[in-house]
Amino acid sequence: MMSTNLLLVLIGLSGVASAGFYARRRTWIDAVLVLVAAAALGLFAAGIRLPGDAGRTLTLDPAAPAPMLEGVRAFAVEGDGLRAAQWNDLPALPLLWQRPEGGSLRLHYPRQLALGRTFTLRVQRDDKTDARLQLLAENGQLIAETRGAGELAVNWIPPLAERVVLKARLLDAAGKIIAEGPVPLTIIEPNILQVQGRFGAPSFDLRTLNELLAGSGALLDWQVVLGRAITRTELPLEEMKAPNLLVIDAAWFERASGAERSALLGRVGGGLPLLVLGANANDPGIWSRTLGLPLQAQPSGKKIDAPLELPVAALNPATRDAGEWTGSDNLVWTRSWQKGRIAWLGASEWHRHAIAEPQALALWWQGVLDRVGIDVSKEVEWLEPEELPLPGQRMELCARGVQGEASFPDLKLTRTWTPRLDAACVAVWPEKPGWLRVHDAKAGEHAVYVYAPGDWPRWQAAQRRDATARYAARTPVKALEGAARAFPAWPFALAFTLAMLLLWWRERR
């Protein structure tokens, strides 16, 4: 196609040549008419633009499909805005929108949980008045409750590995329901923890830890030195193929030979996490030289109060951040060691809580193990949808470690995984509320819960507001400043036509 610049050059040359022809014949009016016609035609082809609004502003309807966008220079939306899936289908244009204030809430909870872990449901809300949060079982039985102002959270330990749809209810101080809705949860069997323990001295704490780990189904390779040349050994009930945690006490490390320490740290450097029980440490110099851990004597009788009252070890780092080591409130300091991780536990006498507070003790130890950073590798990891899946709305399901195809028996369709930066995704449109099953040849069966349109309206409002704010940040309204609008072309076409008609009339006289 001929470029606009070349077309303008040809129009100008033709106009000048024609005007020169009439000038030689001394018909000056005709020469002027030719120049006028050429100028009008050139301006018509150039498409003159003037400062001001270009196009129109389209008001979007969240309930309507994506509209025709011809001539649209900006969007406008009212209320909470659109869902992220709807914004992803639209081009980046300036958005005119006023974010509503208040009236929303957000729920935070894991959709999948290993058996034995604590399920925590947190509710963030704009209203900071006193309220009560209840967690109900499928049969309506109350299983957890809390009250307070601002953010609320309830905890629950599932008893079985199963797929359930719990119910959460938020009530005000007078008992009136503020919001309620389903809380879908899939409880899975936990990955087996494979622990190798080497200890230089027996203690009630070691026995309690052994019982906690054995009760969780962990495989234990446990050796405790009882005296000179006397060691109690506990072998795993089945073959330990890939240990994923080393546990030692400080006494074993301090008495070990240099070769034994090097071998231990070599395994840690290869990626195996190490937990050191520091209650019986006696030689700060060894820890400083080998691990860069600066230990200092602690005041006698010093304790921590929460979440459990525990005595502090005799030797501990003096500050939360100690060189390469970073501490936490439960007296665990950690550092990276090549590909692995080392943790120092500076508390003792947790065995005193085994009878009176077994659940609290288990939760505390779970927090300690979380700080250690045990990595139980998973071939496939399912990712939760970006927003609440709804019937008839586009849902994107992503997973890591999958390829090929995924089938949706409930929808009677198959989708091919599309690779992304760190995952693969498929898009589907759920037909009805409830569990939507998905099957992958490698990952097996999985299910995503599809919410009803009336479930958690305030949570949906918060998600739409967040998605709309993200879209608005892509193209600020300031982009409209300096936008140009096309000058109407018909005046140039009219001038060209009149000039040519007048020239023709003069030629015909």
What's the mean per-residue pLDDT of the chain?
Answer: 87
DSSP-derived secondary structure letter, 312: B
The predicted model gives 469-498 an average pLDDT of 69
The percent of residues in the chain predicted with pLDDT above 70, rounded, is: 93
Return all residues near 216 (Cβ < 8 A) that are at least 6 apart: 116, 190, 193
Tokens found for residue 165: 């749809």
Q: From the CB of residue 136, how many other CB atoms can be counted at a distance below 10 Å?
A: 17
Pinpoint the alpha helices (H) of 453-489: 457-474
Phi, psi of 289 (to 5 degrees): -70, -40
Cα–Cα distance measured from residue 430 to residue 427, given in angstroms and rounded to the nearest whole number: 10
The predicted model gives 141-154 an average pLDDT of 94
327 half-sphere exposure, CB direction, 13 A CA radius: 17
Query: Residue 34: in which H helix or E strand, if any?
Result: helix 28-46
Amino acid at 247: V
DSSP-derived secondary structure letter, 336: E
- The distance from CA 120 to its chain's CA centroid, rounded to whole angstroms, is 17
DSSP-derived secondary structure letter, 101: -
Sign of the torsion angle spanned by Cα atoms 459, 462, 466, 472: positive
Q: List the strands of the sheet with 152-156, edge to edge.
A: 105-108, 119-125, 152-156
Amino acid at 375: D
Q: How confident is the model at residue 414 (pLDDT cuts 50, 70, 90)?
A: very high
DSSP-derived secondary structure letter, 95: E
Per-residue pLDDT tens digits for 256-294 = 999 999 999 999 999 999 999 999 999 999 999 999 999
Contact 74, 60 (CB under 8 A): no
Contact 301, 294 (CB under 8 A): no
The predicted model gives 217-231 an average pLDDT of 88
Task: Report which of 429, 423, 387 is spatially closest to residue 403, judged by C-alpha positions.
Answer: 423
Query: Would you say residue 322 has pLDDT above 50?
Result: yes
**pLDDT computed for residue 486 by the predictor:** 55
* 60: helix, strand or coil: coil
Please name every residue paired with 106 in a beta bridge, in sequence order, or none if there are none. Answer: 124
Query: Among 72-76, 259-263, 483-487, which stretch is predicted with the lowest mean pLDDT?
Result: 483-487
Amino acid at 206: L
Query: Among 19-28, 315-324, 471-480, which stretch is predicted with the lowest mean pLDDT?
Result: 471-480
Q: From the CB of residue 233, how many other CB atoms can be counted at a distance below 10 Å?
A: 8
- Secondary structure of 382-447 as H, E, C letters: EECCCCCCCCCCCEEEEEECCCCEEEECCCCEEEECEECCCCEEEEECCCCCEEEEEEECCCEEEE
Contact 359, 157 (CB under 8 A): yes
- Alpha-carbon distance values, 325 to 18, 194, 202 (Å): 87, 25, 27
Burial of 371 (0-12, 13-18, 19+ CB in 10 A): buried
Q: Between 36 and 178, whose confidence is greater?
A: 178
Sign of the torsion angle spanned by Cα atoms 460, 463, 469, 475: negative
First to last CA, the chain: 39
The percent of residues in the chain predicted with pLDDT above 90, rounded, is: 56
Kindly compute the dihedral angle of the four CA atoms of residues 168, 170, 176, 181, in this order, to the nearest 10 degrees. -40
- The distance from CA 397 to its chain's CA centroid, rounded to whole angstroms, is 13
**pLDDT computed for residue 289 by the predictor:** 95
Task: Report which of 59, 48, 50 is spatially closest to residue 4, judged by C-alpha positions.
Answer: 48
Task: Report which of 400, 363, 361 is spatially closest to residue 380, judged by C-alpha positions.
Answer: 400
Q: What is the pTM of this model?
A: 0.69
**pLDDT computed for residue 46 by the predictor:** 72
Per-residue pLDDT tens digits for 85-144 = 899 888 888 899 999 988 889 999 999 998 878 899 999 998 888 999 999 999 999 999
Q: How confident is the model at residue 434 (pLDDT cuts 50, 70, 90)?
A: very high
